[in-house]
Chains A and B, each alone.
Chain A
């Protein structure tokens, strides 16, 4: 009665099976020289040439209409490509956000001109996006957004600061969540989304935020009376909250929510090979069982999205459990193999472990913190 339903995902069709084989061959060729440490970057790996190759081969914008450069394939076919990329540690960063959430949002809410201008470029692997949601004073509490966009003739004048924007320094656009009316006290009322050109917006400055691994993915985007053409409003003015929630549904449901540390698991089984240790077999067996079941839950969500069912609750469960899984792997590895992890090590295992330990804390923060997700799940159970 209280169970949150996860419908059984359909068995892989012949197309899906063929696609997996074909795509594994594509990745093997593309990633022939990519080492374990690089693979462990997961979707923080950034390589425009790889994204272009994905686009040319028809692996981006897979579910979108052909008229916008898409390929009209199923959500399951896209899910195969996404999970195979992550499992292989492909450098998907240059197209990741655009293909996953910005493109689908533009497809859903954008004007004809926006769709024609942007979607074919994303599908070609030539256009990257960043996310403009969090601010210094509004992280989980997105409705407290303060960044203001004031209509002035045929432009918006934007003032405010966004943080944690991955790849703002590399990407072409970001979708900015901002306030077009009222004050933060109005909460979700009066909010809107603007498509901001990151390469060419007067009044926008982008500054790096270096994370504890010493890496630069995050940025601060500072808008000071920045000028955004009014025709880059996404959807309707004042409807930003509903639109951003819909965007988050794309963000929370995928296999990136449990595969972030898969390269550590791959290197761990490689190190354990031939040791014939009971403890190793038992531990790896239990970890593999968790992974298989998470994957099934995630595929179930893909099936719901394919059928246009609301899967926000299910996606929150997958993300919460997935983050626990991927964050738990470093300690599981440390129980089986002694290793002083070294971020500059030449050896694969040590360097991969170092990168995973450094980055793991972010996985239960990005895309909705653990606490926010559990609140969503609890509400879904009828507790508030």
Chain B
């Protein structure tokens, strides 16, 4: 039901013109207000913590909606930051929030100082859930200035932030914000791939060439089947990552996140090819999804870093330990 409410909100609000404003870096304040009124920032918290107490299935449905509509706001990041802050017993965010890890920040004499790179909508946030080593800091907006502008492949802002403030709220780190973010991104990727498959099915059914719909060509049907397979993998990968996150199993998060990242690239390529040149323009909605997929697959730790983590564990397990490790993921 919540997923349907979210769907209605974004279908109503997110036309191409609004999406274009976000691509110019404009903060969609009115839309954020509606997101906040719906309670989405706390959606992932338990009912005791003021959240919705969603089941894992419902959580997946909600998070995929954010990808399904290419939502140009840091909703997923805010949900994740609040979940992390709640687990750490720190005050929740009062507005949009970011998730970051920066182990090279200096924490001395009660002050925290240094640069956190490429934070989604960093200039527009209320606070940051920032991990440094084994500590989680809740950094309020007054604690940073923009050090350098940055732009994601979907043209949403990714500024680097100069943190310089007194440490107010901090607690032992309950779990890594990069794992939290990677799991959230996997759901967004799955949602965006579902939208891409919907659009590709629609386009190939209605576009007529050589006297018949594209979809009547077997070669096109086979590409659609491959795209459906990538979508299935991304969805299962997101679920796998989310379950592993709850167990505190970082290798499982790595596995789910990696497969979702791979599906993002493979799926975007098929959807683009099946649309022909129109899919490569800003006139068609597909670009919202392809460029978001290009963006999300490289965030919250890169593919190389996550793959090295999982690969090293797998090689260390050797021939005797490899399969038992896989069955634990």
Contacts and interface: CB of A to CB of B under 8 A. Distances in A.
Nearest to B244: A292
B240 interface: yes
B268 to A, nearest CB: 16
Contacts of B221: 374-375, 378, 383-384
Contact of A289 (B201, B215, B225, B254): B254
Contact of B310 (A262, A288, A293, A375): A288
Interface stretch (B139-147, B151-159, B229-237): B229-237
Contacts of B240: 292-293, 296
B329 A286 contact: no
A250 interface: no
A273 B201 CA distance: 45
A289 B318 contact: no
B282 interface: no
Interface centre among A270, A286, A290, A291 (most CB of B within 10 A): A286
A374 B56 CA distance: 30
B278 to A, nearest CB: 19
A365 interface: no
B197 A2 contact: yes
Given A286-B307, A383-B221, A281 B232 contact: no
B229 A317 contact: yes
A289 to B, nearest CB: 4
Interface stretch (A3-11, A213-221, A354-362): A3-11
A321 interface: yes
B315 A381 contact: no
Interface in B215-233: 215-216, 218, 221-222, 224-226, 228-229, 231-233
Nearest to B198: A2
15 contacts: A262-B323, A266-B322, A269-B319, A281-B311, A284-B314, A285-B311, A286-B307, A288-B311, A289-B255, A289-B259, A289-B307, A295-B329, A374-B222, A380-B228, A381-B224
Given A2-B228, A20-B327, A285-B258, 17 more contacts: A2-B197, A265-B322, A266-B322, A270-B318, A275-B315, A281-B308, A283-B307, A285-B314, A289-B256, A294-B233, A297-B233, A317-B232, A375-B222, A377-B224, A377-B225, A383-B204, A383-B215
Closest 5 CB pairs of A and B: A285-B311, A285-B307, A281-B311, A378-B221, A289-B258
Interface of A: 1-4, 6, 8, 20, 24, 36, 83, 87-88, 262, 265-267, 269-270, 272-273, 275, 278, 280-286, 288-297, 300, 314, 317, 320-321, 371, 373-375, 377-378, 380-384
